Structure 1
Amino acid sequence: MQDLWAKIEHSVKIERVSAASPHLTYPLILDAVGMRPPEDCGGPWGYAEKLEALGDPQHEYDEEALDTLGDDHDPNAQPDIPLIEARLEALAKKWAPRTRRKA
């Protein structure tokens, strides 16, 4: 669950609108860049500070950053697209219109 007070913003660019394809499920992912911040990291500003701390062992929040992010955290790693697709597929099934049964 995202911290509602963190005010994280996402940019969505609509490049074109096309007719729906019967062979695809919606929503779908077209592309993703970079990893999301972990939960409870202090929002975008806290995350940026923790990344800065990871790069400087003398930083006052170095230990906290290691505890929160881990020493193997790579903010430039590519997202797990198959995992995202699987989660979107589950949402598509959950949101799919259902036919009513006759009583």
Structure 2
Amino acid sequence: MARMIFQLRVALDGVEPVVWRRVLVPGGFTLDRLHRVVQFAMGWRDRHLHVFDVDGVQYGVPDPDGLLEVRDELDVRLDAVAGKGVRLRYTYDFGDWWEHEISVEDVVPADPDTRYPMCIAGERACPPDDVGGPGGYREFLAAYGDPGHPDHAAMRAWLGREFDPAAFDPEPASTLLRRMT
């Protein structure tokens, strides 16, 4: 049987216009590896906890203290919990509470000449880590983009780099994804 590739659309909830990515991922990837795909493709820095929700079942990194009841994401393959048309939820950073909808758009045989995973499309820059969730991101954008805003200098200093909320190039994301295999 040919190796199957899942075409996924990852969309960030609560942000307008929508920040999204389209990635191609082997169905045999565990949810742990899918977590890393989402992190690299979106532009997150993997500094916080996360959880997947598939039909009401939560998967993530088991909590040794038992405070977070999740099944171990290392034990579950994408192709075991999803198929074409299925939607998964992925939450990153329980403080900022970034929710993502992951839609399985298609499942196709792998091209033997293509290296997976890869990011093939997307729009808009990912919000910075620790910006305060969707509401904090809206406030950040208002201050960052307006030199007359009272918090403009503070937001630029906090971020410490240039930021274009409309910018996204899938090639650097694909380069990072290729390095994870």
TM-score, normalising length: structure 1: 0.68
1:41 correspondence with 2:131:
yes
* RMSD between superposed Cα atoms in Å: 2.3
Q: Which runs of 5+ in 2 are unaligned?
A: 1-45, 49-92
Task: Give the Cα–Cα distance (whole angstroms) in 1 for the partners of residues 133 and 158 of structure 2.
Answer: 13
Amino acid in structure 2 at the alignment position of 1:29: C
Task: Pick 1 or 2: higher relative contact order, CA cutoff 8 A, min separation 6.
Answer: 1
Distance 2:145 2:158 in 1: 14
Question: CA shift at 1:60, angstroms?
Answer: 4.0
Give the AA of the match of 2:140.
K
Match of 1:84 in 2: 173
Larger radius of gyration: 1
Structure 2 distance, partners of 1:50, 1:83, is 24
5+ residue gaps, structure 1: 93-103
Matching residue of 2:99: 9
Structure number having the greater helix percentage: 1
Contact kept in structure 1, 2:117 and 2:174, CA below 8 Å: no
What is the number of residues matched between the two proteins?
Answer: 91
Equivalent residue, structure 2, for 1:29: 119
Structure 1 segments of 4 or more deviating over 3 A? 55-60, 69-72
Tell me the secondary structure at the aligned position of residue 119 of structure 2: coil
- Quick one: percent identity of the two aligned structures? 32
Moved more, 48-57 or 27-36: 48-57
